[in-house]
């Protein structure tokens, strides 16, 4: 089988490429150049490209660079900035997967004559009859099925996830035994296009207009302080809100853009029994009203039991309010059923 492996320069994709080569497949590695600016905290640095090239040379496969900087700027960075400007809290990693890594990359692979595409994500793709199922990775601590939850059947049909059956220590062990340069490399963290020395507010201020906001107490609307940018505030946020002069923990329970106010309240005030969302994307057959599911609202969040209804999920037990713009992923046991953007 002819397989194009997305090699990020990390240990996971390095091992994915090696396993496929050792299994006898015709493997080619490709690294996506996505972000043209400063990057020191994600997976888009110059050193990552060089690491991928070194691994490709070590395992004996060709390596290419695909330049998707313009598409990344428009579909991921632009979307991130625009969403914040509209008071939403986007997930850029999911947008990157959906619009670049599993859209542009797969389309190019098809045009180049590859049968399949592989990545180093900790998740599994299993064939079920004449279709495909997306499953959690075997390593619960590293499971990345959440960020793949918007993949459709046609994308899953093209995808191989070689390390989904492994735990992370085993992956590093395999890489070390093979002498791969990435064996001990740390995992990428944070948003790749915002450097660790740059705050989110600073990054956004260079690309959109930001507006200050008053911090007010729920109920009394007593002014508790100020924030430099209402656009950078997230529902449920606790950090970075200053002190109200007592030891009480306060959370963002409402963002009133019209009044320029961020309302702070107790943890209990953040709890909700349902989440509303936009048009869902399913990995297979669509869910029906009344279906019992589990919902996950962050990459490593705990699944919450719920009932699926049209445009909303009703939870068995209350949970913290989900920020509009975030992704809610639907599961049934180990299987990913789909996802939607919180309204």
Active site residue 295: no
Alpha carbon distance 190, 5 (integer Å)? 23
pLDDT of residue 248: 73
Residues 43, 44, 93, 192: which is the catalytic one?
A: 192
Q: What is the pLDDT of residues 57-66, one digit of tens each?
A: 999 999 999 9
**What tens digit of pLDDT does each residue of 255-270 get?**
999 999 999 999 999 9
Who has greater pLDDT, 220 or 304?
A: 304
* Span 325-331, average pLDDT: 97
Could you give the CA distance from residue 213 to residue 227 in angstroms, rounded to a whole number?
5
The whole-number pLDDT of residue 32 equals: 95
User: Under CATH, which number does the domain 211-265 receive?
Assistant: 2.30.30
H helices of the chain, in order, are 11-22, 46-59, 69-72, 78-85, 92-96, 105-111, 153-156, 168-177, 200-205
Q: How confident is the model at residue 189 (pLDDT cuts 50, 70, 90)?
A: low
Task: Compute CA distances 271 → 48, 199, 254, 261, 310, whole Å.
Answer: 41, 28, 12, 20, 21
28 forms beta bridges with 4, 62
Catalytic residue flag (residue 192): yes
* pLDDT computed for residue 340 by the predictor: 98
Q: 204 Cβ partners below 8 Å, 6+ apart?
A: 81, 84, 85, 210, 229, 231, 232
Per DSSP, the three-state class of 166 is: coil
Options 43, 44, 93, 96, the catalytic residue: 96
For residue 135, give Cα distances in angstroms to 95, 138, 164, 211, 290: 20, 9, 9, 42, 22
CATH of 2-120+162-177, one of 3.60.20.10, 1.10.357.10, 3.40.50.620, 3.40.50.300: 3.40.50.620
Domain ranges for the chain: 2-120+162-177, 211-265
Token pair in block for residue 11: 């240990």
Cβ contact 335:151 at 8 Å: no
């Amino acid at each position: 089988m002819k397989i194009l492996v997305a090699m990020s320069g990390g240990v996971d994709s390095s091992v994915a490429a090696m396993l496929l080569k050792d299994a006898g497949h015709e493997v080619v590695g490709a690294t996506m150049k996505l972000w043209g600016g400063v990057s020191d905290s994600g997976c888009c640095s110059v050193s990552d490209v060089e690491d991928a090239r070194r691994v490709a040379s070590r395992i004996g496969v060709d390596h290419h660079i695909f330049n998707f900087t313009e598409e990344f700027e428009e579909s991921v960075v632009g979307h991130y900035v625009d969403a914040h400007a509209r008071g939403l809290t986007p997930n850029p990693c999911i947008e990157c997967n959906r619009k670049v890594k599993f859209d542009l990359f797969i389309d190019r692979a098809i045009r180049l004559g590859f049968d399949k595409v592989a990545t180093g994500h900790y998740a599994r793709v299993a064939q079920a009859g004449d279709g495909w199922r997306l499953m959690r990775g075997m390593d619960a601590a590293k499971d990345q099925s959440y960020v793949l939850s918007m993949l459709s059947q046609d994308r899953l049909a093209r995808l191989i996830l070689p390390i989904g059956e492994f735990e992370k220590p085993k992956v590093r062990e395999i890489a070390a035994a093979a002498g791969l340069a990435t064996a001990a490399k740390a995992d990428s963290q944070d948003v790749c296009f915002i450097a660790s020395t740059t705050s989110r507010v600073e990054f956004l201020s260079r690309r959109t207009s930001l507006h200050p906001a008053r911090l007010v107490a729920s109920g009394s609307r007593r002014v508790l302080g100020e924030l430099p940018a209402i656009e950078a505030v997230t529902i449920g946020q606790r950090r970075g809100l200053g002190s109200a002069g007592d030891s009480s923990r306060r959370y963002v329970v409402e963002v009133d853009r019209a009044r320029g106010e961020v309302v702070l309240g107790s943890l209990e005030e953040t709890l909700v029994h349902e989440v509303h969302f936009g048009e869902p994307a399913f990995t297979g057959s669509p869910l029906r009203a009344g279906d019992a599911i589990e919902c996950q609202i962050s990459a490593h969040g705990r699944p919450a039991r719920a009932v699926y209804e049209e445009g909303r999920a009703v939870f068995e037990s209350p949970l913290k309010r989900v920020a509009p713009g975030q992704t809610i992923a639907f599961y049934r046991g180990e299987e990913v059923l789909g996802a939607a953007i919180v309204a």
